[in-house]
Amino acid sequence: MNAIISAPELVNELAGSRPPVLLDIRWQLSMPGAAPFDGRVAYAAGHLPGAVFVDLDRELASASGAGGRHPLPDPEVFGTAMRRAGVSSGVPVVVYDGGQGWAAARAWWLLRWTGHPDVRVLDGGLPSWEGALDTDVPAPAEGDFTPVPGAVELLDADGAAALARSGLLLDARAGERYRGEVEPIDRVGGHIPGAVSAPTNENVGPDGRFLPPAELTARFKTLGTTDTTAVGVYCGSGVSGAHEVLALAVAGIPAALYAGSWSEWSSDPTRPVAVGPDPQ
């Protein structure tokens, strides 16, 4: 199954006999001191017809704390949100956001991790959609999806540290944060020792769409993937990292996500921190 879907392909599927459930996951990272982004306002101004808004901070994550800025949501909370949106195990799901792709990838990863068999991300997000937008709020029939966590691999801090030594751990954040030159959010800058810098924005073109699979495969091979390499990804809080896991999936490379990511790792002063361009 493809992990992404183009806007023309989505148009065809919506007109078909088995249309997907649409989830609008518009979200942006709010920097300290700035007014928080409100995805509901963006959704109310116009969304794909039939799409239901899902709140990343409240329904795709639990409260920030020792587990990072976006710890995994309680399965009951997540399941309730998905059923409210009309998600059922036997119906395909397409998720999209405002174009960056991070938030949609978080929803994609969570649905996969909890066992949904058919979920894709709209490549390029809302900007790729050429049809009319809607302002009506749909009221879909209650879905039947029951999350069962564990369908794909999840890393904790110890697992991420071990993978950085035994396999390939990719850091999806911007290079300057990896190197420790700047750190606008977390306690300290730098990276997990052994992790390789792989900014997720290098997986997409200027239009926000993913690079072709062959180009992604070549990029990840340059970063250290092989047919036998175990691969993991982390970021700041498990959102942009999910986007890198999605890019790896487009390239045909399975990868685990360290959901706590740097916000969890760096919150513990006993964990080692590496700085500079060298992984170690």
Q: What is the pLDDT of residues 236-266, one digit of tens each?
A: 999 999 999 999 999 999 999 999 999 999 9
**Cα distances (angstroms) measured from residue 207 to each of 24, 100, 119:** 19, 10, 22
- pLDDT band with cut points at 50, 70 and 90 for residue 37: confident
What's the pLDDT score for residue 1?
Answer: 60
What's the pLDDT score for residue 18?
Answer: 94
CA distance 243 to 205: 14
3-state class of 266 per DSSP?
coil
CA distance 218 to 122: 23
Helices (H), 86-223: 102-113, 157-166, 175-178, 213-223
Please say if the pLDDT value at position 76 is more than 70.
yes
Length of the chain: 280
Residues 98, 250, 12, CA angle at the centre, nearest 5°?
60
Please say if the pLDDT value at position 31 is more than 90.
no
- pLDDT band with cut points at 50, 70 and 90 for residue 29: confident
The lowest-confidence range among 23-32, 168-177, 204-213, 235-244 is: 23-32
**Cα distances (angstroms) measured from residue 236 to each of 10, 128, 185, 210:** 31, 27, 9, 21
With beta carbons less than 8 A apart as the criterion, state whether 254 and 248 touch: yes
What's the pLDDT score for residue 66?
Answer: 87
CA distance 251 to 107: 19
With beta carbons less than 8 A apart as the criterion, state whether 137 and 16 touch: no
**Residues 129-133: what's their mean pLDDT?**
96
Is 218 an annotated catalytic residue? Answer: no
What's the pLDDT score for residue 279?
Answer: 96
Q: What is the dihedral of CA 91, 251, 195, 200, to 10 degrees?
A: -70
Closest CA to 34 of 185, 173, 188, 190: 185
With beta carbons less than 8 A apart as the criterion, state whether 79 and 146 touch: yes
Helix orientation angle between 240-250 and 102-113, rounded to the nearest 10 degrees? 70
**Residues 34-62: what's their mean pLDDT?**
93
What's the pLDDT score for residue 36?
Answer: 78
Per DSSP bridges, beta strands 119-122 and 154-155 are unpaired
Q: Which residue has the higher pLDDT, 28 or 219?
A: 219
Catalytic residue among 164, 235, 248, 250: 235
When the pLDDT of each residue in the chain is averaged and rounded to a whole number, the result is 96
Q: Which residue has the higher pLDDT, 33 or 229?
A: 229
- Whole-prediction pTM: 0.96
- pLDDT band with cut points at 50, 70 and 90 for residue 138: very high
